[in-house]
Amino acid sequence: MTKEKLDRISALSRKQRSSGLTDEERAEQKMLRDEYRAGVIRNLTAQLDNIEIVDSPDNNISEVEDIEIIED
């Protein structure tokens, strides 16, 4: 996402808090925020896909899918 788009998101957010947005501005804000979220999710997914966990004693490398997740 470009700096101009990020600046526009910020400007629309400030305007929303101060005087409110028109329907067109709300639609633009939603589009820009959705694009921003998609980029964040894409980057996070790429980072998580590249994670390898190494067990110290024998330097055994495990893929993230091979690890059992225990929830409390």
Do the domain assignments include residue 72?
Answer: no
12 inside domain: yes
| Domain region containing 43 | 3-66
Cα–Cα distance, 14 to 39 (Å, whole number): 22
pLDDT in tens, the chain (72 residues): 899 999 999 999 999 999 999 999 999 999 999 999 999 999 998 998 888 766 666 666 655 555 565 665
Task: Examine residue 47 and state whether it is found in any structural domain, yes or no.
Answer: yes
d(CA 1, CA 17): 23
Q: What is the pLDDT of residue 23?
A: 96
**How many separate domains does the chain show?**
1
Q: Residue 58: inside a domain, yes or no? A: yes
pLDDT value, residue 48 = 86
Q: How many CB atoms lie within 10 A of CB 29?
A: 18
Residue 71 lies in a domain: no
Q: Say what the pLDDT of residue 68 is.
A: 61
CA–CA dist 28, 21 (Å, integer): 10
The answer as to whether 60 is a domain residue is yes
What pTM value is reported for the model?
0.67
pLDDT value of position 65: 59
Does 29 reside within a domain? yes
